[in-house]
Amino acid sequence: MTGFGAAEGGVGSMRVAVELRSVNHRFFNPSIKLPGAFQRWEVEVREALRKRIARGHVTVFARYEREGEQMAAVDEARFAHYANALKALRDRHALEGPVDIAAVLRMPDVIRMDAESVEEGTVEEFMAIVDAASAELNRMREAEGARLVTVLLERVAVIEEALGRIAVRAPERVVAQRDRLRENVKVLADGVAVDEQRLAQEIAILADRLDVGEELDRFAAHIAAYREALSQDTVEPVGKRLGFLLQEMLREANTTGSKANDASIQRDVMQIKEELERIREQVENLE
C-alpha cells in the first residue's frame, strides 16, 4: 500500500528530519538510507517498521542540520579518494577543466559530524522521530485501505450477481438436458421399447453430474467470510486471509465451469474469474 509520513525532532544538538515512503509490495521490503551519523541504528529502525508494517516496499530517508559551531568536519581521506577518482575519470575521458571542490564536498560522507556531536544523540531520540513518521505513514495507508475496501466490495457484488444468474439457470439447464436425453433416446430407439427405469437412472446420474448447488453454497460461504474480514475493526493484517479466500472462490468457480455444459453459465463463470483476478491484484498489496 502507498503512503508518506514525515517527522522532525532533536537528536542531541542536531535537528533531524525523517521521511518514510511506501509503495505496493506483497511482503515487507524496507530500504533504509541513513546518513553515516545514524547508520549504527539501522537495525532498530528496521525492527520498528517491521512491527508497524506487514506489507509494502518502504523507503526511509533521514537528514540532519547541524546546530552551533565546529560540529562539522571534512573527512580528508574520503575527500582525497573522491578527488583522485574524479581526476582519473577526467583524464580517462579527455575532459577539460579542474575538479570542482564543491562537487567533491557534496559526495557521500565527505562532510561528517564530529565524533563528540554524534555521540550526543541517543537511539531513543532518533526512534521517537521514526515512530512519529511511521504513525503518519500508517494514517495515510489506512485512508487508502478504507477506499480500497469500497472497491473490493463493489467487485464482490458483481460476482454475487453472476452467481445469482447461475443459481437460476442451473436447474433450468438440468431440465433441458433431461428433455434432450429423453428425445435422443426416443429417436435412437426408433419405436423400440425403452427401459424406463434404466432411463431414469441415467437421468439421475446426469442431474448429479450437472448439479452445482454445493459449489454455489460454498462460494456463498467464502463471500460471507470475505465480507466479514473486510468489515472487522482489527489491527491484524487481513490481506493473506483474503488471498486464501480468493483461492477457494477460484476453485469453486473452476468446478462450476467444468460442470456447466451451458454457454450462459460459462459466460458468468468467466466474468467471475475476471473479477477474482482484479480483486487478487488489489488484495496482494492490502495489509
One digit per residue, the tens of pLDDT, for the chain of length 287 reads 788 999 999 888 788 999 999 988 878 899 999 887 788 899 999 999 998 888 889 999 998 876 654 456 788 888 899 889 988 888 888 888 888 888 888 887 787 655 544 556 789 999 999 999 999 999 998 888 888 888 999 999 999 999 999 988 888 777 777 667 667 666 666 666 666 676 667 666 666 677 788 889 999 999 999 999 888 776 667 888 888 999 999 999 999 888 877 888 889 999 999 999 999 888 876 77
Instruction: Find, among 284, 8, 213, 243, the residue nearest to 131 by Cα.
Output: 8
Q: What was the pLDDT predicted at 257?
A: 86
Number of other CB atoms surrounding residue 193 within 10 Å: 6
Q: What was the pLDDT predicted at 42?
A: 92
Which residues touch 1 (CB under 8 Å, ≥6 apart)? Answer: 22, 24, 55, 56, 141, 144, 145, 148, 285, 286, 287
Contact assessment for residue 60 and residue 44, using Cβ atoms and an 8 Å cutoff: no
**SS3 (DSSP) at 93:** coil
Helices (H) and strands (E) in the chain, counts: 9, 6
Distance from C-alpha of 190 to C-alpha of 117, rounded to nearest angstrom: 104
Instruction: Find, among 48, 50, 51, the residue nearest to 28 by Cα.
Output: 50
Q: What was the pLDDT predicted at 153?
A: 92
Q: What was the pLDDT predicted at 70?
A: 47
**SS3 (DSSP) at 73:** strand
Strands 56-66 and 111-113: unpaired
Q: What was the pLDDT predicted at 47?
A: 93
| Greatest extent of the chain over all pairs of C-alpha atoms, in Å | 112
Q: What was the pLDDT predicted at 127?
A: 93
Distance from C-alpha of 277 to C-alpha of 159, rounded to nearest angstrom: 12
Instruction: Find, among 265, 271, 272, the residue nearest to 249 by Cα.
Output: 272
